[in-house]
Amino acid sequence: MATIMVPTLDQILKGTKVHRNWSVAQLLEAAISRDEGKLTNTGALRVATGKYTGRSPQDKFIVKEPSIAGKIAWGNVNQPFDPDKFMKLYHDVLDYLSNKELFVFDGFAGADERYSLPITVVNELAWQNLFAHQLFIRPQPKEPLHDVEPSFTILSAPGFKATPSIHGTRSETFIIISYEQRMILIGGTEYAGEMKKGIFSVMNTLLPEKKILSMHCAANIGQKGDVALFFGLSGTGKTTLSADLNRRLIGDDEHGWSQEGVFNIEGGCYAKCINLTAESEPQIFNSIRYGAVVENVVMNENTREPDYSDKSLTENTRVAYPIEHMNDAVIPGVAGNPNTILFLTADAFGVLPPISKLTKEQAMYHFLPGYTSKLAGTERGITKPEATFSTCFGAPFLPLRASVYAKLLGEKIDKQHTNVYLVNTGWSGGPYVVGKRMNLSLTRKLITAAITGELDKYDFHPDPIFGLLIPAFCPGVPANVLNPRDTWGNHDAYDIQALKLRHRFEMNFENLEMNDPAVHEIFGH
């Protein structure tokens, strides 16, 4: 029986049905003609991603190859994948794509050209290639990137369904990174965020080897050149709070911190838009125009007006747009060393202060466990806020041990004398259901006061349970809001809930030290 030869990726990309580096207009036309989406009343492309409306972390793997095996923090997050199974799956995906119309984007990750990673994104869906065009860094017209060997390739084939018994996957869905093949293989899911976070995971492996801290954070800069970083998991407010009319946006989600300063890893923004209004978030709202991609938002078929309050498809409604859509964004996204760091945590227990100042030791203590809540829709199976610990505020995307990132952060805080604050964007006055979500306008005032140094004019007092330094006053913020205990009707109930959370911190830290002995070195014991 004759052996059927599967074409190589290079051979496939030289086919007549391959569209390379198409413009936004061409990709929009293709997506609409192929019935992949429809235009909204502002000219954005509205698409639906089917049953996968968030990341699928249990289906994400890293190929366990000799060159990388000793570096990865293997476990439930970084799951190992067999190299032979990967090659079998890779060739089956190539066979699947060999006769399809394909869309290819060549660009970069990393706005600082000294540390940028050339990438190629191959899609079977035109709208997903538009997403890649808007989210990654677009080359200048003079740069013919298709003539350059890419450092990493994303191969996205959502129509291909894996067979676990043959391919070694957990389900039909897979997101697999191979460092030796320089490849991210994605199939079985149309959720475009897997491409974005796949490259972020790669950068989180490569950048620390160059003594660059890779960070799951937003960044902006003030008129005086002061830089602020906003760490936090999806839904904690990175995009919203970094979009400040009085400051210029560097980036909303992924950054590197080198010796020279910070730089955006991306060329666009991927904002949650559930309950979005022009009044509450004007910069994001006004960015949803021609070229933007709106995911899983319910739209009136006649008026083509999106209903951002409708969560019938998912609470994880999203919009992707190039950073140029933001007024006065920093392009390229490169700036100096940060003056202020803000750890954003959506506290589902409702016991953390809306803002508190951290010593360097407290900063490291809160950075390592990364306490927050997973919010509804951001991952498969999450239907309500769930208190969780996500190391370095980005565990799903950090392949290396937590101590690697924490040591780099500690060294940089020391060198730059950076101020660090913990900000609760979650609940106050009680836990989730009982309490209320923190008021966005008050959170903005607190953050502005921290960044500008206004908070330093007032006294701080330590919280008796967590030891956090709470400001006694902040202009425009009611005094009773600053101390979370005062927002609870029953102080004894607050104390019980706060002690529960403190115990969870202690237990989590014990697990961190057990799994990563280098954590001891960070605190000198």
Which residues are known to be catalytic? Answer: 55, 197, 216, 234, 238-239, 253, 318
Are 443 and 476 a contacting pair, CB within 8 Å? no
Residue for token pair 């997506």: 31
| Strand 460-462, strand 436-437: pairing | unpaired
Task: Quote the CA–CA distance of 488 and 480 in Å, as a whole number.
Answer: 10
The single-letter code of the amino acid at 476 is G
Q: Which of 468, 447, 393 is nearest to 231 (CA)?
A: 393
Are 189 and 300 a contacting pair, CB within 8 Å? no
Task: Quote the CA–CA distance of 57 and 189 in Å, as a whole number.
Answer: 12
Residue 382, both tokens = 């999450």
Query: CA dist 142 to 58, 130, 146, 388, 488, Å?
Result: 41, 20, 12, 46, 60
What are the E-state strand segments in 110-173? 117-123, 152-157
Task: Quote the CA–CA distance of 271 and 236 in Å, as a whole number.
Answer: 11
Can the peptide bond before residue 208 be classed as cis, meaning omega within 30 degrees of 0? no
Burial level of 243, CB count in 10 A (0-12/13-18/19+)? buried
Residue 170, both tokens = 């957990």
Task: Quote the CA–CA distance of 168 and 6 in Å, as a whole number.
Answer: 20
Q: Largest Cα–Cα distance in the chain?
A: 82
Contacts of 318 (CB under 8 A, 6+ apart): 193, 270, 271, 272, 273, 294, 295, 296
Residues 394, 251, 45: CA angle, nearest 5 degrees: 100
